[in-house]
Amino acid sequence: MNRPFVHPYIPNTAPDVRAEMLDTVGAASVEDFYADVPADLRLGRDLDLPEPLVAEQDLARHVSGLLARNVPTTERLSFLGQGTYHHHVPAVVDEVIGRSEFLTAYAGEPYEDHGRFQALWQYQSLMGELLSMDVVNVPTYDGFQATATGLAMAGRITGRRRVLVASDVLPAKLSKVRDYVRVHLDLEFVDPVEGTADVAAIVARLGDDVAAIWVETPSRTGAVEHRLQALADAAHAVGAILVVGTDPVGYGVLTPPAEQGADIVCGDIQSLGLHQWYGGAHGGFIAVHDDPRFVMEMPSRLFGLATTDVPGEVGFGDVAYDRTSFAHREEGKEWVGTAAALWGIAAGVHLALMGPQGMRELGEVLLARTAYAQRALGAIPGIRLTDRAVHLREFAIDVAGAGLTASGIVTALRAEGIEPGVPAGEHELVVCVTETTSQADIDRLAAAVTGLVAASAAEAASTLDPIAEPEEHRA
């Protein structure tokens, strides 16, 4: 340990400087500054923490050593999704968000942080093009929060409590939404049919006390909702709002929900230029039409274009800075705080690189690979697809007919270096493919599952069925 304690992160631990500063402020020691902290609240001992690694090389070795125990998806064959997806991240995206100017800035103003305002306004605009909507927020935490807020907005706008949930929702997302809105909203589940909304059942449940229909597309199992317009029409007929939770990755090729009557579109931007980060890189978008009733209920910041004193100069500022002056509802607008701005900048760079053609190609690759994987796995005896909907990236297989369990498949294939998917119940496995999953990868998964099914069938054949066997024949 260095004595006296001088730390590279803390310049004023230099003893002479410290002494000079104490002298300047007329303090005998730093103890003077803590006069308001009562003696009986003082810790009075050193914190019990691990011995520090003050030399940078020692720290690097320790942390890298811990991380070295991870085996990433680049070293495994991964079919994992369920909220976090493995898409290709262009190098330019990481280059831009790695810049100190963006990485280490925070809550500056449009004047000295003009770049951030423009980058985030562009993110809003690029998302707006993708979603065909005129208003998109500066990102909130993640798609869970975005959807929870979108539903809360619907409640505030309509003054109603009932929400009809039309799709299968990720359990963790549902858990968040439920706890977030439960004081204000009651969720009612209408079971999907063949993976997508049961429109007739929803229409039957609609009334003038319904705040919103909540659709997730792609659903928990990757099913793409194809009757949004019918749901929108039914909702609007009773003054309810259509809230669509979605992943924007497919809208280079799929019709965006806004063009099918959606009022509030929300979701996660992790698929747009963010690495998986062990589930630690998410951002939430909320998009609405340019209607003050909706805009005024948005808690997040919204950046807008502005003129300056110089003709032709592009300026920015906060739109609807006071989000309550038009408000007709008494509820506050939740809150706004540190959320996911850097990820928003990344998603913007990603969309700019992809362009219309790139997003279209990506959507097509995803649809094609998903369909191919469905065929490959669905063709295995005893394995069936759970529904006939169009799927994007994810789909579920039912493995009961093969005498297998979902967790059994996971355990068995992990031994072969494959993460085959995520169990959703005893016999259901949700499989995910992206543009990073090649035909060969899918074939390898299908072969491995085929092997398991064969082994399971062989095992079943070699085991005498105790029920089918008459009692007197037992030894």
Partner 1 sequence: MSLPIAPKPAHRRFHQARWDEPVIFELSTPGERGVLVTSIEPGVRDAVGDVVAALPDGLARQAAPALPEMGQMRVLKHYLRLSQENLGADFNVDVGQGTCTMKYAPKVNERLIATPKLSAMHPLQDPADAQGALEIIWRTERMLAEISGMDEVSLHTQGGSAAIWANIAMIRAYHEANGDGEQRREVITTIFSHPSNAAAAKAAGYDVITLHPDADGYPDLAALKRALSPRTAAIMVTNPEDTGIYNPAIREWVDAAHAVGALASYDQANANGILGITRARDAGFDVCHFNVHKTFGTPHGSGGPGTGANAVSAALAPFLPGPRVVREGDRYEVREAGPQSIGAIGPFHGVVPNIVRAYAWMMALGAEGLRAVAETAVLNNNYLMKRILEIPGASAPYATGRRRIEQVRYSWQELFEETGITSEEIGIRASDFGMHYWTSHHPYVVPQPFTLEPTESYSKAELDEYADVLAEIAREARETPEVVRTAPHHQTVHHTHHDDLDDPERWAVTWRAYRRKYPQAVGA
Partner 2 sequence: MIGLIVNPVAGIGGPAGLAGSDGTDVQRRAGERGARPRAAERAATALAVVASARPDERIVTAAGPMGADAVRAAGLEPIVVWHPRTPTSPSDTTAAARALADVGVELLLFAGGDGTARDVAAGLPPTAVALGIPAGVKMYSPVFAIGPSAAGALAAAWLDERGLPTVEREVLDVDEAQLRRARVEPRLYATVRVPYRAGRTQARKAATPADERAAVRLAARGAVARMRPGVRYLLGPGGTMADVARELGVEATPLGVDVVLDGRVLVAGASEQELLDEIGRGPAQAVVSIIGGQGFLLGRGNQQLSARVVEALGDDPLLVVAPEQKLIDLEGRPLLVDTGDASVDARLAGFVRVVTGPSTISIYPVHAPENEGAADHAA
Q: Give the span between the Cα atoms of 216 and 265, in whole angstroms.
A: 10
Residue 141 tokens read as 């935490």
Please name the residues in contact with 310: beta carbons below 8 A apart, sequence gap of 6 or more: none
Q: Select the residue interacting with partner 1 from 15, 179, 401, 459 (CB under 8 A).
A: 179
Looking at the Cβ atoms of 205 and 329, the one nearer to partner 1 is 329
Q: Select the residue interacting with partner 1 from 15, 159, 175, 407 (CB under 8 A).
A: 175
Rama region for 197: left / alpha / beta (φ>0; ψ in -120 to 50; rest): beta
Q: Give the span between the Cα atoms of 155 and 149, in whole angstroms.
A: 10
Looking at the Cβ atoms of 149 and 374, the one nearer to partner 2 is 149
Q: Name the helix (H) or strand (E) containing 217.
A: strand 210-217
Instruction: Compute the least distance from the CB of residue 373 to partner 1, in Å.
Output: 9
Q: Which long-range contacts (CB under 8 A, 24 or more apart) does 273-279 make?
A: 273/87, 273/89, 273/90, 273/93, 273/346, 273/347, 273/349, 273/350, 273/351, 274/89, 274/343, 274/346, 274/347, 275/89, 276/73, 276/84, 276/85, 276/86, 279/83, 279/84
Q: Select the residue interacting with partner 1 from 77, 150, 157, 173 (CB under 8 A).
A: 173
Asked whether position 110 contacts partner 2 by CB under 8 A, the answer is yes
Q: Select the residue interacting with partner 1 from 18, 161, 205, 329 (CB under 8 A).
A: 18
Looking at the Cβ atoms of 75 and 322, the one nearer to partner 2 is 322
Instruction: Compute the least distance from the CB of residue 85 to partner 2, in Å.
Output: 31
Q: Give the span between the Cα atoms of 355 and 347, in whole angstroms.
A: 12
Query: Residues, the chain, total?
Result: 475
Asked whether position 135 contacts partner 1 by CB under 8 A, the answer is yes
Query: Phi and psi (nearest 5°) for 396?
Result: -115, 145
Parallel, antiparallel or unpaired: strands 284-288 and 241-246: unpaired
Q: Select the residue interacting with partner 1 from 28, 278, 462, 475 (CB under 8 A).
A: 278
Asked whether position 385 contacts partner 1 by CB under 8 A, the answer is no
Q: Select the residue interacting with partner 2 from 25, 39, 68, 107 (CB under 8 A).
A: 107
Instruction: Compute the least distance from the CB of residue 337 to partner 2, in Å.
Output: 6
Instruction: Compute the least distance from the CB of residue 329 to partner 1, in Å.
Output: 13
Instruction: Compute the least distance from the CB of residue 237 to partner 1, in Å.
Output: 19
Looking at the Cβ atoms of 141 and 214, the one nearer to partner 1 is 141
Site string (302-341) toward partner 2, x via CB under 8 A:
---------------xx--xxxxx-x--x-xxxxxx----
Asked whether position 40 contacts partner 1 by CB under 8 A, the answer is yes
Instruction: Compute the least distance from the CB of residue 139 to partner 1, in Å.
Output: 8
Looking at the Cβ atoms of 171 and 332, the one nearer to partner 2 is 332
Looking at the Cβ atoms of 71 and 461, the one nearer to partner 1 is 71
Q: Select the residue interacting with partner 2 from 4, 111, 472, 475 (CB under 8 A).
A: 111
Interface of this chain with partner 1, residues 293 to 322, rule: CB under 8 A: 295, 302-310, 312-322
Q: Is the bond leading into 4 cis (omega within 30 degrees of zero)?
A: yes
Q: Select the residue interacting with partner 1 from 15, 99, 194, 207 (CB under 8 A).
A: 99
Asked whether position 299 contacts partner 2 by CB under 8 A, the answer is yes
- Which of the listed partners (partner 1, partner 2, none) does 48 bind, with a CB threshold of 5 to 8 Å by partner kind? partner 1
Site string (146-165) toward partner 1, x via CB under 8 A:
------x-------------
Decide if 323 contacts 156 (C-beta within 8 A): no
Q: Name the helix (H) or strand (E) containing 77.
A: strand 77-78
Please name the residues in contact with 278: beta carbons below 8 A apart, sequence gap of 6 or more: none
Asked whether position 356 contacts partner 1 by CB under 8 A, the answer is yes
In 3D, which of 336, 273, 333, 342 has the Cα closest to residue 130?
Answer: 273
Decide if 363 contacts 170 (C-beta within 8 A): no
Asked whether position 125 contacts partner 1 by CB under 8 A, the answer is yes
Crossing angle of helices 341-378 and 439-462, in 10° steps, is 50
Looking at the Cβ atoms of 102 and 189, the one nearer to partner 1 is 102
Q: Name residue, tokens 């950046």.
A: 303
Number of residues forming the site for partner 2 (CB under 8 A)? 22
Instruction: Compute the least distance from the CB of residue 15 to partner 1, in Å.
Output: 12
Q: Give the span between the Cα atoms of 190 and 277, in whole angstroms.
A: 34
Beta bridge partners of 268: 284
Decide if 242 contacts 215 (C-beta within 8 A): yes
- Which of the listed partners (partner 1, partner 2, none) does 324 bind, with a CB threshold of 5 to 8 Å by partner kind? partner 2
Interface of this chain with partner 1, residues 231 to 250, rule: CB under 8 A: none
Q: Which residues bind partner 2 (CB under 8 A)?
A: 107-111, 299, 301, 317-318, 321-325, 327, 330, 332-337
